[in-house]
Amino acid sequence: MLRSTTITCAIALFGTLFAAHAAAQVDGTLVRHKGVTVDAGDLNEELGLLEQEKRQRIISEANELQSTVTGLYFRKRMSQLAESQGLLADAEVQAALRQAREATLAKLMTDRYLEDIDYPSFEEEARRYYEEHLSEFTPPERIRAAHIFLQAPKTEDKKRRRGEAEKILKRLRKGKSFSELAKKHSEDSTRHTGGDLGFFTRERMAPEFNEVAFSMKEKGAVSDVVETRFGLHIVKLLDRDLGEPKAFEAVSEQIKERLKAEYRRENFSAWLKQEVPPEVVRLPDARLQALQDALAERYAVRIPEAEASADAESTQVQSTEAAKP
């Protein structure tokens, strides 16, 4: 954490010291100081390695561009100082440089492979996927309903107010306006809209409410009194939206991108198994255990006993299985 903070402060300091030298040129020298030069070629090389979005941000914002030039000078100057102090001869530095080189080349190689994959058009595959997975492109069923709601969260409340709800229901059966009775009797905010709950899916309401509301078939139908944990409801079905599937044309590109991603994963996985065969790089359990023990001793790492016992037991079981005729 301290090293990261120190580097950040150092870069900020260099930005102040050398801002005057980093003239906004597209060619030639940008900064020259203490035998270190940053030129337009260095900047172009740096920008060329970035994703387009980040590159665009740096170029379009002067502070970001200046920070990039400052960072280039910082890296070059620190590298110069490190070499002058003989750090390149240090074994740990050599190991770190080798690891960085291998990691960079590994990433570039995998990126290059993925970029060079030749994809089919997926036209027929997309159509077939659409037809076989139509439910994925069909919005869930929705209904529009209204209710008259009497608050009764406790069992005794429900018993006490049941008769009140039944009287309202009788008036509805005799032709009284649902909307007017909801405005008069309902005990939630929907009373202002005649009990109208709008359109909703099954996930939105209480299970007992959904069971009744979604089972109603005819618009205008009114339910019996329904009990939920909130209280007592009388439900009226106002409308139903069965959820029509989206047209293939509206989702074809989405499907193709999904198929392309799957094709890429399968292609890359097959290539990776060929270049890095699991059976080749996997060490035998006994060899892995011996290596683990040796490294733990060398680096003073304590292996938890439970984990060590489990590993030992696994190795013993596998050895026993292997010894069977």
- 104 within domain boundaries: no
pLDDT digits (tens, 9 = 90+) for 112-150: 999 999 999 999 999 999 999 999 999 989 999 999 999
Pair (9, 80) in one structural domain: yes
Residue identified by tokens 């198929």 is 259
53, 56, 62, 68: CA torsion to nearest 10: 70
| Cβ(244)–Cβ(135) below 8 Å | no
Pair (291, 272) in one structural domain: no
- How many CA within 13 A on the CB side of residue 263? 15
pLDDT band at 203 (very low <50, low <70, confident <90, very high): confident
Pair (129, 148) in one structural domain: no
Pair (12, 77) in one structural domain: yes
The pLDDT of residue 316:
44
**What does the mean pLDDT of the chain come to?**
88
Pair (152, 186) in one structural domain: yes
What phi and psi, each to the nearest 5 degrees, are found at residue 283?
-80, 145
Tokens of 267: 């292609």
- 199 within domain boundaries: yes
Domain housing 34: 2-87
Using CA atoms, how far residue 102 sits from 95, 97, 105, 109, in Å, is 11, 9, 5, 10
Report pTM: 0.57
- 101 within domain boundaries: no
Tokens of 46: 């740096």
Q: Using alpha carbons only, how large is the chain's radius of gyration in Å?
A: 35
Query: What own/partner pairs with CB < 8 Å and gap ≥ 24 does 62-65 have?
Result: 62/24, 65/24
C-alpha–C-alpha distance, residues 141 and 243, integer Å:
5
- 97 within domain boundaries: no
Residue identified by tokens 């906004």 is 24
Q: Any idea what the Cα angle at residue 72 is, between residues 71 and 77, rounded to 5°?
A: 95
pLDDT digits (tens, 9 = 90+) for 5-46: 444 444 444 444 444 444 444 679 999 999 999 999 999 999
- 184 within domain boundaries: yes
The pLDDT of residue 242:
82
- CA–centroid distance for 208 within its chain: 34
Tokens of 255: 């499907």
Beta strands in 69-171 (DSSP E): 142-151
Closest CA relative to residue 186, chosen from 239, 144, 145, 221: 145
- 229 within domain boundaries: yes
- Number of structural domains found in the chain: 4
- 103 within domain boundaries: no
